[in-house]
Structure 1
Amino acid sequence: MVSQRTAVAAVFVVNGGLYGAWAARVPALATQAHADPAALGLALLGPSIAMIITAPLAARACAAWGARLVIAVALAGACLVLPTLGLADSVLLLGVALAALGALMGTVDVAMNVAAVAAVRELDRPLMPFFHAGFSFGGLLGSLGAGLAAALSVAPARHFCFVAAAGLLALLGTVRSVPGERPGPHRKTEGSYRAVVFRKRLWLLATVALCAAVAEGTCAEWSALFLVRERALTESVAATAYSVFSVTMALTRLFGERVEARFGPHRVLAGSGLVAACGLTVTAAVPLGAVAYAGFAVAGVGLAFCFPVAMALAGDAGRRSDGSGGERELGFVTTVAYAGFLGGPPMIGGVASLTSLTVSIGVVGLLAALITPAALAVRERGTARENATPRELV
């Protein structure tokens, strides 16, 4: 049987691989479904909206049945739904399949973070950045496999069947070691009615996750166009900017345990916000293509720790006396972050239409800078929480 650390990391890798596999085949899926850009845009809204809806439901499911069971059911379901994308021959069918896949992958996303928090508590090691590095490398692996499949003219349906089979095998080999057993009756009800939406500490962590999500989504969806239109780089060179951003983020996350153990989660968050803000601000301010390229790489370093550390702190905010808990808190922060992934890129497009892409990137740099004061305020709330009475913890 594999270790808890390996099992949780495997879940992150598989979920990232599923995302990378289908996202990189969107051009082929659009051709197969006869979708124009407008129709494709509507279809791609489906998974994001589904993830926002299912995140709080997934948190409740983890609290009721345990993260392990939720991961087993939802991840297996995602693997089985993935091949249906390759069979969608209309925009409607493609949209429905994407929404179903998004709902299942969003459920896995919440549950795997709950399991990761449980592993961090059990092992007493700050491993959240390491686990999220698994998602980054999984997405990279999935996209590289998709590129190879496209180069070999492999149909999406066949490609997705292979990916699904690999994901199911990885799940079968590791799921028993995933932490998050089904809780007993006394743990199901303890704290289940706590009004998480009124807790200031969670809103601060949600702010961190939201700003990080907007910044990451901007780098993913606007970096190439920015480099082509504003910095006069070729499309082939500009297209690799997000790859550099992703690889930089993934490699940085591998050092997360050492960095967090050395400086603590709140300092890491505060410093990460400054690094990300500097990278994006320099990208917008200096009119040189090479500097902009390096700026996106620096932004990847800064954003690497923001989401995983925020998730770890959210789980800690809901920790019960027996060492369990945090499911609803993770669900809340994740839901807000998904809203950032969904609404951030269109917002940036709106700003760009009124001004320019350069101004938009600068605005995102300012948003990234908000991570720092939010992280420092989280630390202050955490200190106050330690000295508070039970009535003051809400």
Structure 2
Amino acid sequence: MLRASAAPYADFVPLINKTRTHNVVPGRELVGLRVAITAFFALDGFIFSGWVVRIPDIKHQTHASAGALGLALLGVSAGAVLTMMLTGRLCRRYGSHPVTVVWMVVLALSVALPPLTHSAPALGAVLLVFGAAYGGVNVSFNAAAVDLVAAVRRPIMPSFHAAFSLGGMVGAGVGGLVAGFLSPTRHLLGITVLGLLVTAVAGRSLLRHEPPVPPVDDRGPAAAGTGRAARVAGRWLVVGFGLVALCDAYGEGAMADWGALHLKQDLTASAGTAAAGYACFALAMTAGRLSGTALLGRLGRARTVIAGGAVAAVGMLLGSLAPSVWVALAGFAVTGLGLANIFPVAIERAGALAGASGVAIASTLGYGGMLLGPPMIGFMADWFSLSTALTSVAALAAVAALIGVATRRALNG
């Protein structure tokens, strides 16, 4: 499936993510590399969700108002956006593997800092560091995953993002269990220790291997399309894939921040049932990503993106306009299934075209969608209603499907 992608990869990034010419022995070494990268994805989700579940406690500790806390939380977003493009350049210079290890060490250390703050400005400052590490590690380990996908010639990218989702679910569950008897300081310090231990083990495997070289295209270098027009077209395709990621991440952010409120406010659901709304979405998305490799192998990337966007659009229309709670919950689950593999495919294709730079561009646009979604829906809810505002998720899912139609040849390599 990935055979044709080797040519544009070689054209745009002949030495990207590689510090020297090398070969990687197939088989056991690639399996070990896949396990190590998967561990970093899972650890990233675990660390981030561990911080998120302690936000109420940190708010109380810092005596921050809702507005002040909101401004402090922008530090995560600002730090991430600032370092994503920088990380692309770092990966080109030093390789994605060492950059991943360094950023993960910073992320593990910085998650212990929020409980040490006692004011909203101080919290915002440490969250800027935390966000910088979060954005950096997301670009670097996605770049490492893109290299591995190209080398193994199998559509395994969704499995890495499934690991992130599973890590997040485990981190949230553990955080909920220990919140009653562990202070935020001890809890997040424990996450730091665990994060450093996992990084030491998985990082050793990652640093032992150079990023694998994709197999040489059977058609020869003439098929690569080395002209300026091909390079310009490649850049526009990367932006297009970044917009696909934005449409997907917009929906994820909207569901996380507004799904439960919609169920409670518009459909008079109980607090417990409302909380189950995002759980239905997240579980369906995780299940979709776990089956993503098989789905991509069967349908191909283009049809997966097109069908996923269409399914998510239908699911979100159902979830936002349903007259009953249970129909809305079913709609949320369908939306999660539809969106599950769009983001991984978009990142993988951007990386195949432009290496770490492509991953950085697509990740920045995608993260921008996650930032854009919640406040845009809030504004639209004030102008119209929350249920109407949530239909924008369906609209952007449909846009992702349309971009998939327009770029179907590039999506399939």
TM-score (norm 2): 0.85
Aligned equivalents of 1:167, 1:122: Cα separation in 2: 28
Report the CA distance between 1:122 and its aligned residue.
2.2
In structure 2, do the counterparts of structure 1 residues 205 and 216 end up closer, same or farther at CA, with 3 Å as the change threshold? same
- Spell out, residue by residue over 1:266-296, the C-alpha distance to the aligned partner (whole angstroms, 9 max, x if none): 1111111011111101112321111111111
Q: Which amino acid aligns with 1:142?
A: G
What is the aligned residue count? 369
Contact 1:196 1:329 in 2 (8 A): no
1:291 aligns with 2:320: no
Q: 1:382/1:264 Cα in 2 relative to 1: closer, same or farther (>3 Å)?
A: closer
- Partner in structure 2 of residue 390 of structure 1: none
- 2:85 matched to which residue of 1? 56
In structure 1, distance between residues paired with 2:360 and 2:258 = 28
Decide whether the 8 Å contact of 2:246 with 2:365 is kept in 1: yes
> CA 1:275/1:182 → structure 2, altered by over 3 Å: closer, same or farther?
closer
Aligned-pair distance for 1:199?
Answer: 2.5
2:282 corresponds in structure 1 to 246
1:91 aligns with one of 110, 117, 120: 120
Matches within 5 A, 1:1-394: 3-152=32-181, 154-178=182-206, 181=210, 199-318=235-354, 326-381=355-410
> Displacement, 1:207?
1.5
> Which amino acid letter does the alignment assign opposite residue 107 of structure 1?
G
TM superposition score normalised by structure 1? 0.89
1:196 and 1:202 in contact (8 A); partners too: no
| Unaligned stretches of 5+ residues in structure 2 | 1-28, 214-225
| Structure 1 position 380, deviation (Å) | 3.7
Identity of aligned residues (%): 37
What secondary structure does 1:138 align onto?
helix
Which range moved further: 32-41 or 244-253?
A: 244-253
Gaps of 5+ in 1: 185-190, 319-325, 387-394
Structure-2 separation of matches of 1:205 and 1:168: 33
Check whether the contact 2:301–2:411 (CA below 8 A) recurs between aligned residues.
Answer: no
How many Å separate the matches in 1 of 2:401 and 2:108? 38
Instruction: Write the deviation string for residues 135-190 of structure 1: whole angstroms up to 9, x where unpaired.
Output: 101111111111112122x1111101111111111111111333773899xxxxxx
Shift, 1:382, TM fit:
5.9
For residue 188 of structure 1, what is the aligned residue in structure 2? none
Q: The residue matched to 1:162 in structure 2 has which SS? A: helix
Contact 1:197–1:203 (CA<8 Å) still a contact in 2?
A: no
Task: Give the deviation of 1:202 after TM superposition.
Answer: 1.5
Contact residue 151 and residue 212 of structure 2 kept, 8 A: no
Tell me the residue number matched to 2:15: none
Q: CA RMSD in A?
A: 2.1
Residue 83 of structure 1 aligns to a residue whose secondary structure is: coil
Check whether the contact 2:277–2:332 (CA below 8 A) recurs between aligned residues: yes
